[in-house]
Structure 1
Amino acid sequence: MEEIILQLIMHSGDARSCAMEAIQSAKSGDYEKAKCLLEESADKLILAHNAQTTLIQAEANGNKAEFSLLLIHAQDHLMSTITVKDLAEEFVEIYKRIR
């Protein structure tokens, strides 16, 4: 169970990093790189969601996960990463329009 939780944290962190890099790329005018980074962020979020789905399915099958600080952190990390990615998409568009 901990391995799956750590995958959720890792993939969420990678997705967040890509989204933040996309903003920096757009800020410097490299919109193609920003687009690629947003796509990479989306791909990493899929992996994070897959880990989350594994946890949900396990619980639905009666293998209830014990609530831990690590599990709460993983869920929090995923949710904040989704927000960062959504905002990064908006920032990239704004930078495009400004230039």
Structure 2
Amino acid sequence: MTDKYENPTSDDYMGVVMGIIMSGGNAKGLAFQAIQQAKDGKFAEAESSLNEASEQLREAHDVQTDLLTRLAQGEKIGWNLYMVHAQDHLMNAITFKDLAVEVVGQERRLQALENK
């Protein structure tokens, strides 16, 4: 019997990979949306989008943590370019969301100064 994620071409494995990629992509899109909403002065909507982005990232991070835990416990986890891409996608989304938080904050500050 093989470990669930040992074969990097199995449906289980590819489902995990695609889940990470999709969650990362959704989070990045929501973070970008938050920046656009902030530019339009819609700060409550921007905060909501950032919260949704955080939830998407949490879901992907939970999957990543599960894989790392399994690996640490001795389960064989296969690796391929798809998984590398998924991890890259996730890290990029995390960085983009962190930057979006800062941009939204700066936009809020800028608009407050302009409205004085």
Alignment TM class, shorter chain as reference = over 0.9
After TM superposition, give the deviation of residue 55 of structure 1 in Å: 1.3
User: Which residue pairs with 1:92 in the alignment?
Assistant: 104
What's 1:8 paired with?
20
Deviations 1:49-75 (A, max 9, x none): 011112112212322222211000011
Instruction: State the TM-score, normalized to the length of structure 1.
Output: 0.94
Q: Tell me the distance in 1 between the aligned counterparts of 2:86 and 2:41.
A: 33
Which of the pair has more CA radius of gyration?
2
Distance (Å, rounded) in 1 between the aligned partners of 2:88 and 2:40: 30
Cα RMSD (Å): 1.0
State the match for 2:37 in structure 1: 25
Report which structure shows greater RCO (CA 8 Å, sep ≥6).
1
Distance 1:57 1:9 in 2: 19
1:61 aligns with 2:101: no
Which amino acid counterpart does residue 86 of structure 2 have in structure 1? A
Quote the Cα distance in structure 2 between the aligned partners of 1:92 and 1:67. Answer: 37
Q: Which one of the candidate residues 50, 54, 57 is aligned to 1:42?
A: 54
In structure 2, C-alpha distance between the alignment counterparts of 1:73 and 1:81, rounded to whole Å: 12
Please identify which structure carries the higher helix content. Answer: 1
1:9-52 Cα deviation digits (max 9, x unpaired): 11111111110000000011100100000000001110010111
- 2:95 aligned residue: 83
Aligned length: 99
**Percentage identity across aligned positions?**
40
Equivalent position amino acid for 1:19 in 2: A
Tell me how far apart the structure 1 counterparts of residues 15 and 28 of structure 2 sit (CA, whole Å).
20
- Unaligned regions of 5+ residues in structure 1, if any? none
